[in-house]
Structure 1
Amino acid sequence: MKIAFIGDSLTEGRPGVSFFNILKKKYPDIKFVNLGKAGETVKSLHTRLSKNKLDQDYDLTFLWIGVNDIYSRLLKVQAQPITRNSEEFREFYEHVLELVMQSSKKVVVVSPALIGENINSSNRGLLNLSLIIKEISQEHKNTTFIDLHEAFTEQLETLRTTDYLSTSVGRLVKDVFFYRSPKRVDRLAEERGLHLTLDGIHLNSKGANIVVDKYSQVIEGFQSNN
């Protein structure tokens, strides 16, 4: 079985705790391919997949993209082009999904999770993107939707959250280089008052394991049906 993971830094696994590495240990007999790239937006991903065609033999592909189309607006530097509005996001997402579907028997589209753990802030924009992604997934037969935004916000509803959100590129780079081990990541997240992330975006151990649980359900369901 061969599974691809396409997305941004959350899929790549830096900064923060890598859900991908946890899955690799959990399923040693499955071939996992990590196609995550830091800073990726739905527009830049479309360019990447158009220029570099995917392998044609994936059994399952997880497509997790979209958070940077909102988060990049909060950063002082925008490394990749972002969509201007919901209509343009829908258009480019549909193009990306078409490219991914050509290479995989089944595609799992995943909603963006969080922008900050205060669920009353920028996360309203993510809810809109989640609804768009869900609608697109329903139009395709071999596509499944995972609502990580809902999964993460449910975890946070009963917790005291902070407004911490890293919007400094320098801070992000420092987190990449100096906080590599899960223990260090989790310690820094706790210092910042965060429950599921390192910085409001990238995952700590608890956040990574939410993703692992959701992805595992799909993987094991696919295995049992094939």
Structure 2
Amino acid sequence: MLTLNYKTTMKKLTVLALLAGALTLAAFKTAKVKKIVFFGDSITQMGVQPGGYVDLIKSNLLKQGNKNYEVVGAGIGGNKVYDLYLRMDDDVLAQHPDITVIWVGVNDVWHKSSFGTGTDPDKFVKFYTAIIKKLQEHHSKVIVVTPATIGEKKNGENKQDSDLDKYSESIRQLAAAQQIPVVDLRKIFTEYEATHNTSDVEKGVLTVDGVHLNATGNQLVAEKMWDAIKSIE
């Protein structure tokens, strides 16, 4: 009887030990810090500064005591889609991101009409597709973002509105084909301006200069970005 009880007790202890080990392993897995890289141009470069949209996301996580994410900005002023492709190995892939948020397109459009150095629509799609593919090959989830605005007047009144709409639609189509989330800031900003820009001003509602975000714009972008990040978790 003593031997039987001993064997039964040992079996129970073994089961409990295995269960405890499994729970510990599960806890370890859920505690893994996920790295989010925001990949873009000067809007993202400025986004890491105090009050910028990247900084707001980091600050909100800190206030919530949420230590599950590491948030990194990888923006460089003047960058177009091919610049992102050329530097993604060093600036993004080397960091082994779990999630990469791509926000590019303003300079591809803006520089095309202003300096003749922009990106043609077919090349824009080609480079953008290559960036997505390379990120996915390195096991990063991807979120894409449409270029928001170059001038805040009503849609159709700003010089680059037509091109912004065209390039934004290309990004939407890529997102649909790849089944990845899209933060459609072009649509979001256009709708916001229609409601809040009653004086039809060129800047000052969501941006400081028609392109780069003011406090309201940064807050709006931070909220929409975080909504997309939560949707793929």
Q: TM-score, normalised by structure 1?
A: 0.75
- For the 8 Å contact 2:125–2:170, the answer to whether it is kept is yes
Please state if 1:2 is matched with 2:2.
Answer: no
1:139, distance to aligned residue in structure 2 (A): 1.9
Matched, 1:154 2:191: yes
Q: Which has the higher contact order (CA 8 A, sep 6+)?
A: 1
Q: Does 1:144 align with 2:181?
A: yes
Structure 1 or 2, whichever has the larger Rg, is 2
Structure 1 residues without counterparts, runs of 5 or longer: 164-192
Pick aligned residue for 2:167 from 122, 129, 144: 129
Task: Pick closer, same or farther for the CA change 1:133–1:100 going to 2, 3 Å.
Answer: same
- The answer for the alignment partner of 1:198 in structure 2 is 208
CA–CA distance in structure 1, aligned partners of residues 104 and 182 of structure 2:
13
Shift of 1:97: 1.6
Aligned to 1:68: 107
Q: Which has the higher helix share?
A: 2
Q: Which residue of 1 aligns with 2:5?
A: none
- Tell me by how many angstroms 1:51 deviates: 6.4
Task: Tell me which amino acid in the other structure corresponds to 1:40.
Answer: N
1:115 and 2:141 matched:
no
C-alpha change, 1:102 and 1:114, in structure 2 (3 Å) is: same
- How many residues are treated as equivalent by the alignment? 189
Residues 207-216 or 66-75, more deviating: 66-75
Q: In the aligned structure 2, how far is the partner of 1:17 from the partner of 1:125?
A: 29
Give, in whole Å, the separation in 1 of the partners of 2:95 and 2:170. Answer: 27
Over the residues paired in the alignment, what is the CA RMSD in angstroms? 2.3
Q: Which digits, 9 at most, give the CA deviation of each residue in 1:24-67, with x for residues without a partner?
A: 10113220111111110012212222566613632211000111
Extract unaligned runs of 5+ from structure 2: 1-33
Of residues 197-206 and 98-107 in structure 1, the stretch that sits farther from structure 2 once superposed is: 98-107
Q: Could you tell me how far apart the structure 1 residues matched to 2:91 and 2:59 are?
A: 28
